[in-house]
Structure 1
């Protein structure tokens, strides 16, 4: 594994973050929704001010992964926008991003992480399940998502 680092994103990363996320969505035939579900990408710093939005960056400055935690209420956050460029999958980066997000959620005082996903994202779902996420029927699903998972910390 290279010396890729996880760091907080800034609004200056917005274009690269959108390009990565929309490319992965298109890869899985999921539709980007810049006016609704993906509106959070317009102002990362404000939307995630009570949580976190981080990027995985290579030593040469390429953003290859993303992960966000958005506050839902005092005890619960939503894991959002966990994506990894296809050329960098299978190297442990997804696991690293998820471990980071779970640790960060605990540091921020959250007791539960919820997420929404789509069945076509099989690799991600398998990873979430390995980390203990279980099906949840509490979420009102976004249109491109067909299942919800949750993890109690």
Structure 2
């Protein structure tokens, strides 16, 4: 299977919305809607224009995973929208790892020193994945002031880049 990870823009919004909302709502019952995530319809504006990026992982032309970087400060960024379709998760394909590695490499190339993320405690496998990648759980109160908090998030992590 040939996995391709490339930056994607607004022309992929429909596929992105379909992938992410299915995982959030149907698989994990996270109480979040498209209205709560207008960034999914404004990928160019929300991610790319501010110096961040939004990547898609494709297998045979099908979008199977996403990850995004919100660059909210010269030296800091927030990881968002890390999702991989259920049937493509796991150690066989390492799609999540490839997506995260792509984002970290981009962050380092663009002078970021710190990455932060918020998630929900129900996503235990995701939290274990981040911890295996040297992210450390932190208290919400210790997040940088400019960090863009998502209402449903209740677990926060930090990675020091060097």
TM interval, shorter chain, is: over 0.9
2:78 pairs with 1:78:
yes
The Cα of 1:142 is off from its aligned counterpart by: 2.6
After TM superposition, give the deviation of residue 121 of structure 1 in Å: 0.9
Q: Which runs of 5+ in 1 are unaligned?
A: none
Deviation at 1:143, TM superposition (A): 2.4
Question: What are the residue-to-residue correspondences of 1:28-39 with 2, within 5 Å?
Answer: 28-36=28-36, 38-39=37-38
> How far did 1:102 drift?
1.1
In 2, are the aligned partners of 1:9 and 1:55 still within 8 Å (CA)?
yes
What is the CA distance between 1:33 and its match in structure 2? Answer: 3.1
In structure 2, the partner of 1:103 is 105
> Bigger CA drift: 106-115 or 140-149?
140-149
1:7 aligned partner: 6
Matched, 1:146 2:148: no
Counterparts of 2:117 and 2:108 in 1: how far apart (Å)? Answer: 16
Structure 1 distance, partners of 2:107, 2:31, is 28
* Inter-partner Cα distance in structure 1 for 2:62 and 2:73: 33
1:17 aligns with 2:16: yes
Q: Does 1:112 align with 2:114?
A: yes
Q: What TM-score, normalized by structure 1, do the two folds share?
A: 0.92
Q: Which runs of 4+ in 1 moved over 3 A?
A: none
Between the two proteins, the alignment pairs up a number of residues equal to: 150
RMSD: 1.3
Task: Name the SS of the counterpart of 1:48 in structure 2.
Answer: helix
SS of structure 2 residue aligned to 1:79: strand
Which residue is equivalent to 1:135? 137
How far apart are residue 62 of structure 1 and its match? 0.5
Asked if 1 retains the 8 angstrom alpha-carbon contact of 2:17 and 2:34, the reply is no
How far apart are 1:45 and its partner, in Å?
0.9
Shift of 1:7: 0.5
Q: TM-score, normalised by structure 2?
A: 0.88
CA shift digits 1:68-119 (9 cap, x unpaired): 0001211100000000000101131111111111111111211100000111
